[in-house]
Amino acid sequence: MSEATGIIEWRETEPGKLEAVAVLEGGREVKAGWCPQPGSQEAFLKCPAFEVLYEGTRGPGKTDCLIMDFAQHTGPDDRVDKSTPQWRGFGPAWRGILFRQTFPQLADVITKTRKWFPMMFPGIRFNEGKNTWIWPTGETLRLSYGLKESDYWNYHGHEYPWLAFEELTTWHDPGFFKKMMSCCRSTVQGIPRKLRATTNPYGPGHNWVKSRYDLHLPPRGVYGKLIEEEGLPERMSIHGYLDENRILLTADPQYKDRIRAAARNPAELAAWLHGSWDIVAGGMFDDVWDAKQHILFPFPIPKSWRIDRSFDWGSSAPFSVGWWAQSDGSDVRLNNGKVGSTVRGDLIRIAEWYGWNGQPNEGLRMLASEITKGIIEREKRWGLYGSVRPGVADSSIFAVENGMSIAADMAQHVTVDNRSYPGVQWLRADKRPGSRKTGWEMMRKYFKAAIRNGTPRENPGIFVFNTCEQFIRTIPSLPRDLDGDPDNVDTDSEDHIGDEVRYRVRAASTMMRSGTTSGTTS
């Protein structure tokens, strides 16, 4: 960052070292301490939106750019034309805070700030006890940490006109992030208010970050979609590409090759090298999921197939109901008029109801009777009522408290359209020790068995109708518990539909033995 103005030229001053040089009027040249490279770095520093996510591949220089976003507003107000907008000269009022989840995770940020700040801002000092940089002109940048939503209370009442999060997808849910937004404020007129974040497209928070910034489509350039919701500040994403970082690639021409060598599968490579949000590096299913083969357009279910449902209970957290058709091996008439073959035992998710409020991991707090009524209403609307057999559910609903259980509540009659209907009944899901990991492994086998690789399929697989949007949103990107047991899904992730699906997969063979003819809802 330099106060010099003029034309910026990028020069290889010595082999493997690319530097920015400002060419001033008269031909005088000044080396820039740090300068944004063309593309995403420039776009991020200039973006006027209140909330901006800098996401993308590995290596475009996101962390450097993040700390420079704060630094660009420090120092005295040295405007020649005082009628232009003031972006500096706020002194102690310009306060920032940058978060990671834990203190050890801050090591990289601290290292980078120690590299740049003393060189660029003479007289700046670092308060070790408070992890805070203090500028000679009074500005402060605090490097801090917060893991869960309740950690917000450590900062309640604080004022930070600049609020930042490094590696946003490491937060399992948006609770802490959203709570801290209330601290992004200032009583000083004209001071910028900015919420900034960086991330790669993987981690336990993949789904909520992807949803918040509408990252469902491949990037078409640097700028993402400008999202404007009524009553909320505008937000957008900036997509960074490794190829933009000429400094890194000049110094390390083999960097891409090492990324390719380090990637454990094509999905991880797509995340690291292309910044793809369609997968999650290190996910439980990213190497066995193929959207083109697993997702189907709805087709009429043969009458000889078994139809049932599965259920994962939730109140403050989401609940999940899935409706399944299990094939007896007969052919089906696809929506394009062609005949499709199936394998006996194939599971097709034909419908779903996800009990959330639109925010990941936040439930509707509905009563068991209300969920029962909703299930019956949907089955009547879909033409399924009377043909759905009892399926497996989270065994916790059978726990008896005060003489009653959730399962018993759901079995009670309910009134729908002024008529009384029998409630719904469930079978206990297998939740013995080890069943969770066994269930994930069985799901992997079913996903893999569904993939056609040029030879006839022999084993039953899982498929899903494209109308089951929440399954498609959450299941392919469920992360492994990389900090604990990699053979298990991270329990802090949005795994409610995942739990419901593995209950059904674990029970698949039992359901087949119980027959495939249609039954009556009970």
**What residue spans define the domains of the chain?**
1-35, 36-78+86-274, 291-513
Query: What is the rounded distance in angstroms from the CA atom of residue 371 to the CA atom of residue 249?
Result: 55
* Exposure letters 358-383 (e unless 16+ CB within 10 A, then b): eebbbbbeeebbebbbbbbbbbeeee
Beta-carbon contacts of 282 under 8 Å, excluding residues fewer than 6 positions away, are 202, 264, 268, 479, 480, 482
Q: What are phi and psi of 30, to 5 degrees?
A: -130, 125
Q: Where are the beta strands (DSSP E) in 342-382?
A: 347-355
266's enclosing H/E stretch is: helix 266-274
Q: Beta strands 295-296 and 462-465: pairing type?
A: parallel
pLDDT at 180: 97
- The tens place of each residue's pLDDT in the chain, 522 residues long, gives 434 456 777 777 777 777 877 777 777 777 777 889 999 999 999 999 999 999 999 889 999 999 999 999 999 887 667 677 677 889 999 999 999 999 999 999 999 999 999 999 999 999 999 999 999 999 999 999 998 888 999 999 999 999 999 999 888 888 899 999 999 999 998 899 999 999 988 777 887 898 899 988 777 789 999 999 889 999 999 999 999 988 888 888 898 999 889 876 666 777 778 888 876 445 788 779 999 999 999 999 999 999 999 999 999 999 999 999 999 999 999 878 889 899 999 999 999 999 999 888 889 999 999 999 999 999 999 999 999 999 999 999 999 988 899 999 999 999 999 999 999 999 999 888 889 999 999 999 999 999 998 889 999 999 999 999 999 989 987 888 866 787 899 888 899 999 999 999 999 877 766 654 333 444
pLDDT at 125: 97
pLDDT at 263: 77
pLDDT at 80: 63
pLDDT at 246: 87
Beta-carbon contacts of 120 under 8 Å, excluding residues fewer than 6 positions away, are 1, 33, 34, 71
- What fold is seen in the domain 291-513? Nucleotidyltransferase; domain 5 (3.30.420)
Q: Where are the beta strands (DSSP E) in 146-205?
A: 162-165, 194-199
Q: 3-class SS at 142? A: strand
Beta-carbon contacts of 238 under 8 Å, excluding residues fewer than 6 positions away, are 40, 43, 44, 47, 52, 53, 54, 55, 56, 222, 223, 224
Query: What is the rounded distance in angstroms from the CA atom of residue 221 to the CA atom of residue 205?
Result: 24
- Domain 36-78+86-274 homologous superfamily, CATH: P-loop containing nucleotide triphosphate hydrolases (3.40.50.300)
**Partners of residue 365 on adjacent β-strands:** none
pLDDT at 517: 39
Sign of CA dihedral 114, 164, 42, 205: positive
Judge contact between 349 and 323, C-beta under 8 A: yes
Query: What is the rounded distance in angstroms from the CA atom of residue 88 to the CA atom of residue 79?
Result: 9
